Chains A and B, each alone.
Chain A
Amino acid sequence: GAGVSQSPSNKVTEKGKDVELRCDPISGHTALYWYRQSLGQGLEFLIYFQGNSAPDKSGLPSDRFSAERTGGSVSTLTIQRTQQEDSAVYLCASSFLSAGRADTQYFGPGTRLTVL
């Protein structure tokens, strides 16, 4: 079946504007993750959704960042009042988890966000 998809692939915005990034996980995957990858850096965990449980928001860098997952499927990451330091590639991943054990995460191609 289809892999993880993300849209848009590229987003250029002006400082202070809000942006929404979308992730469509693999059908049937119960877990969904958002990461941020800055130039030359590793992946920075942002947020994790698992089924109907409350999301793990421990990685969100500020209250300008929020995310939701509707119907246990599609997720939207929202960044309010964007700043230049928000420029990065935002990656989404999904996984089919059993008993909360870590397992392979399948990544989307990412959204490259540029804040001018």
Chain B
Amino acid sequence: AQSVTQPDIHITVSEGASLELRCNYSYGATPYLFWYVQSPGQGLQLLLKYFSGDTLVQGIKGFEAEFKRSQSSFNLRKPSVHWSDAAEYFCAVATSASDMRFGAGTRLTVKP
């Protein structure tokens, strides 16, 4: 069965430091891959997505993610974190329109 794993429940980084949030999936073929962010009291917002082509995907707010087929991973990165990036981040994997699975989320805390 398809599954999504976000190994880190909570990450704390200092403002200005780099960030990497991990996402691994289990599926036989290459699925569609997404990262969403949920700020406190807000709905989920799409950061970026990967369907095919270039494995390094650029998103909004300075985020990027790299699809690595050999590792079944789609890690999210940002070179310099801002205090406003504090939020919950969800990786999602879909094989079809009716089959999107979300990871449990990683909560990001940004220290001043």
Contact = CB atoms under 8 A, between A and B. Distances in A.
Interface of A: 3-4, 31, 33, 35, 41-43, 45, 48, 50, 56, 91, 93, 95, 97, 100-110
11 contacts: A35-B102, A41-B104, A48-B98, A50-B98, A56-B98, A97-B97, A101-B32, A101-B96, A102-B99, A104-B49, A109-B42
A45 B101 contact: yes
A31 B97 contact: yes
A35 B102 CA distance: 10
Contact of B43 (A48, A97, A100, A109): A109
Contacts of A41: 104-105
B44 to A, nearest CB: 4
B105 A100 contact: no
A86 B41 CA distance: 20
B46 interface: yes
B43 A107 contact: yes
Contacts of B32: 101-103
B90 A42 contact: yes
B43 A95 contact: no
Contacts of B42: 109
A102 to B, nearest CB: 3
A109 B43 CA distance: 4
A42 B94 contact: no
Chain B CB count within 10 A is highest, among A42, A48, A106, for: A42
A79 B83 CA distance: 38
Contact of B100 (A50, A91, A105, A108): A105
B63 to A, nearest CB: 15
A102 B100 contact: yes
Given A56-B98, A105-B100, 9 more contacts: A4-B43, A42-B102, A43-B90, A45-B101, A95-B97, A102-B100, A108-B43, A109-B43, A110-B43
